[in-house]
C-alpha cells in the first residue's frame, strides 16, 4: 500500500484505493483495471460479467434476512483523468500514482489523484469484500470511459441490471445528494491550412500562458477561472494587429471536459518589432493578472526565445483562426430560472491542437435543457463555419431529470440527518453523470449520486478530504441497511 494511506480509515476502502492507484486506467485504456475487477469478482465466488466495451458487473447475494429487500446497484466508473504538471516526469501507463497527506487531505503529487472515481470503485469493492454488511441483492457496476465519452454507460446492455435502485458514487461534495445533471455534446472544428516560408532576418519566440487552476468544465465553469486558450489568443490577436507576427504553431489545453490550464504559441517577428512585442506581452501579463487576481493567483505569462520554425501558417488561416478563437464563446451562457445559483447552459473551449494539415479545436457544451444544449452547440458551429472550418458534433448524452419524490432519496435524507444531525443538501449539478444514460436505458431506476469531498478534480493536485471518506462509507452502509 502507498505509505500515505497507512492508518487511514476505513482501512478496507483505502486498501482498495491504494491498489487502484497502482493500476493503469486512463480513459479508453481500462483493460488492466477491467481485468483486475473481473478477477476480484471471480476470486470471491461472485457472479461476474463483462461486456464488449469493458464494463464489469459483479453480483453479491443478499445478507441473510434481506432476501426480499429491493435490489441495489452500486455504480462507479473505473477510468480517471490523466493530467500532470508540465515539469512533472510521469507516465500514467507505467507508474503508480504518487500521493501525500496534507492538512487532512490526500493529494496527488503533481498529477491527478484518480479519486474521481477511484474512491467510488474502492468503496464498492470494500462492500463486496465484507460479508457482514447488511443489504439486499447487490450489484456493483463498474463502467469504462466516463471521462471522455461516457462510452461504458452509453453501451450498457438494457437487460443487464436487475436492481430497482442505483447509488452512484461519483459526486464530489460530502453532505450533498445529487438528483439531476446536465446533458452534454462536443463540437469539434477542423481548419485546413497551408504553410508559407519563414522570412529571413526574423526572431523566433514562444509565448506561454500557464499556472492556471483549470478544473472541471461543468462543476468549475462558473468560478471565474481563466482559460489558457482564450488568454493566449488575446495576446496573439493584439500582437498580430500591432507587430505583424507570423504564427508557426499553437497548442493549448488537453481534455474536452477540463478548462485549459496551459497554452503556448511559437511566433516570428521582424527585429524592428521585438521591443513592441515584449511590451505587449508584459502589458497583457500585468492586465490579465489583475483581471484574474482573485481566481488565478498563479497565472504566469512569459515570452522566451525559441528555435526558428521551419514554416509558418498561411496568413489567411492565421487571421481567421485568431478571429474565431476570440469570438468563440467560453463559460456560462445561461443560469437556471428555477434553481438558485445553478448553471443551466455553458460551453468550454477545451483545446487547440494542430498537425501538418489541420488545426483542431475541441469544445464541449452542457445544459440541463436539451434545446439549449443544441443551441449552444450550433452557436459554436456557426462561429467556426464563418471561417470555412469543418465542424462536427458528437452524439451527446442526455441529462437526468430530478425526481424529488424518489424513495431512495427519502431514505438517504432521513439517514443522513439521523447520523449527522442536520439536513443534507439536495441539488442537481452542471456536470454530466452516467445516471442520465442509465436512466434512459432503465427508466424505472430510482437513483441518487453522492460521495466524499474532492477538490481539483481533472487537474494536478487533485485531492480528497480524508475524514469525509469515512462519513461516506458509514452513510452508505446505513442506507443499504435501511432499504428494506
Task: Return the active site residues.
Answer: 79, 146
- Apex CA 140: angle with CA 456 and CA 136, to 5°? 125
Return d(Cα 304, Cα 274) in angstroms, integer: 12
338 burial via Cβ count (<10 Å: 0-12, 13-18, 19+): exposed
CB-based contacts of 171, cutoff 8 Å, min separation 6:
177, 178, 429, 449, 450, 451
Helix (H) or strand (E) holding 479: helix 466-482
By DSSP bridging, strand 72-77 and strand 138-143 are parallel
| Ramachandran bin of 181, using left for φ above 0, alpha for ψ from -120 to 50, beta for the remaining angles | beta
Question: How many CB atoms are located within 10 Å of the residue 476 CB?
Answer: 24
405 burial via Cβ count (<10 Å: 0-12, 13-18, 19+): exposed
Return d(Cα 215, Cα 295) in angstroms, integer: 12
Q: Report the candidate in 70, 44, 6, 23 with the shortest Cα–Cα distance to residue 125.
A: 44
Give me the count of residues in the chain: 484
In DSSP terms, which residues pair with 56 in a beta bridge?
Answer: 50, 142
Cβ–Cβ under 8 Å, residues 170 and 434? yes
3-state secondary structure of 359: strand
CB-based contacts of 457, cutoff 8 Å, min separation 6:
81, 112, 115, 116, 172, 215, 216, 219
Strand blocks (E) in 407-477:
425-429, 446-449, 454-455, 463-465
Cβ–Cβ under 8 Å, residues 230 and 262? no
My answer on whether omega of the bond before 44 falls inside 30° of 0, hence cis, is no
Where helices occur in 223-359 by DSSP H, the ranges are 228-243, 274-291, 315-327
Question: How many CB atoms are located within 10 Å of the residue 294 CB?
Answer: 7
3-state secondary structure of 364: strand
> Distances from the Cα of 103 to the Cαs of 37, 175, 464, in angstroms?
32, 20, 11
Amino acid at each position: 500500500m502507498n505509505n500515505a494511506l497507512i492508518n487511514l480509515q476505513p482501512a478496507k476502502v483505502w486498501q482498495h484505493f491504494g491498489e487502484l492507484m497502482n493500476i493503469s486506467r486512463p480513459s479508453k485504456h481500462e483493460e488492466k483495471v477491467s481485468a483486475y475487477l473481473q478477477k476480484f469478482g471471480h476470486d470471491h465466488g461472485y457472479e461476474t460479467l463483462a461486456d464488449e466495451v469493458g464494463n464489469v458487473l459483479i453480483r453479491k447475494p443478499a445478507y441473510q434476512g434481506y432476501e426480499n429487500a429491493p435490489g441495489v446497484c452500486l455504480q462507479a466508473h473505473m477510468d480517471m483523468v490523466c493530467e500532470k504538471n508540465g515539469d512533472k516526469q510521469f507516465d500514467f501507463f507505467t507508474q503508480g500514482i504518487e500521493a501525500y497527506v496534507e492538512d487532512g487531505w490526500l493529494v496527488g503529487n503533481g498529477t491527478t489523484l484518480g479519486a474521481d472515481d477511484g474512491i467510488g470503485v474502492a468503496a464498492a469493492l470494500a462492500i463486496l469484500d465484507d460479508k457482514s454488511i447488511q443489504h439486499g441483492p447487490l450489484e456493483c457496476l463498474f463502467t469504462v470511459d466516463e471521462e471522455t465519452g461516457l462510452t461504458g454507460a452509453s453501451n450498457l446492455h438494457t437487460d443487464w441490471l436487475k436492481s430497482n435502485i442505483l447509488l452512484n458514487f461519483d459526486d464530489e461534495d460530502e453532505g450533498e445528494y445529487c438528483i439531476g445533471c446536465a446533458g452534454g455534446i462536443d463540437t469539434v472544428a477542423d481548419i485546413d491550412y497551408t504553410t508559407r516560408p519563414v522570412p529571413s532576418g526574423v526572431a523566433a519566440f514562444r509565448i506561454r500562458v500557464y499556472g492556471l487552476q483549470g478544473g472541471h468544465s461543468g462543476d468549475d465553469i462558473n468560478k471565474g477561472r481563466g482559460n489558457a486558450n482564450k488568454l493566449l489568443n488575446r495576446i496573439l490577436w493584439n500582437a498580430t494587429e500591432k507587430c505583424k507576427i507570423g504564427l508557426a504553431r499553437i497548442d493549448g489545453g488537453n481534455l474536452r471536459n477540463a478548462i485549459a490550464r496551459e497554452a503556448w504559441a511559437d511566433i516570428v517577428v521582424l527585429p524592428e518589432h521585438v521591443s513592441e512585442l515584449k511590451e505587449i506581452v508584459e502589458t497583457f501579463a500585468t492586465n490579465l493578472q489583475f483581471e484574474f487576481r482573485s481566481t488565478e493567483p498563479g497565472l504566469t505569462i512569459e515570452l522566451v526565445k525559441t528555435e526558428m520554425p521551419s514554416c509558418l501558417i498561411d496568413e489567411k488561416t492565421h487571421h481567421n483562426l485568431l478571429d474565431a478563437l476570440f469570438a468563440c464563446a467560453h463559460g456560462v451562457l445561461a443560469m437556471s430560472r428555477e434553481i438558485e445559483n445553478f448553471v443551466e447552459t455553458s460551453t468550454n473551449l477545451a483545446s487547440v491542437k494542430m498537425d501538418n494539415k489541420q488545426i483542431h479545436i475541441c469544445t464541449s457544451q452542457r445544459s440541463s435543457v436539451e434545446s439549449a444544449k443544441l443551441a449552444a452547440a450550433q452557436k459554436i458551429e456557426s462561429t467556426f463555419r464563418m471561417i470555412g472550418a469543418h465542424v462536427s458534433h458528437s452524439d451527446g448524452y442526455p441529462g437526468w431529470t430530478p425526481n424529488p419524490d424518489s424513495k431512495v432519496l427519502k431514505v438517504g435524507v432521513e439517514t443522513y440527518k439521523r447520523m449527522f444531525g442536520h439536513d443534507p443538501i439536495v441539488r442537481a449539478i452542471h456536470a454530466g453523470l452516467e445516471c442520465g444514460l442509465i436512466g434512459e436505458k432503465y427508466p424505472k431506476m430510482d437513483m441518487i449520486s453522492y460521495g466524499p469531498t474532492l477538490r481539483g478534480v481533472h487537474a494536478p493536485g487533485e485531492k480528497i478530504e480524508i475524514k469525509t471518506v469515512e462519513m461516506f462509507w458509514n452513510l452508505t452502509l446505513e442506507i443499504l441497511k435501511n432499504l428494506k
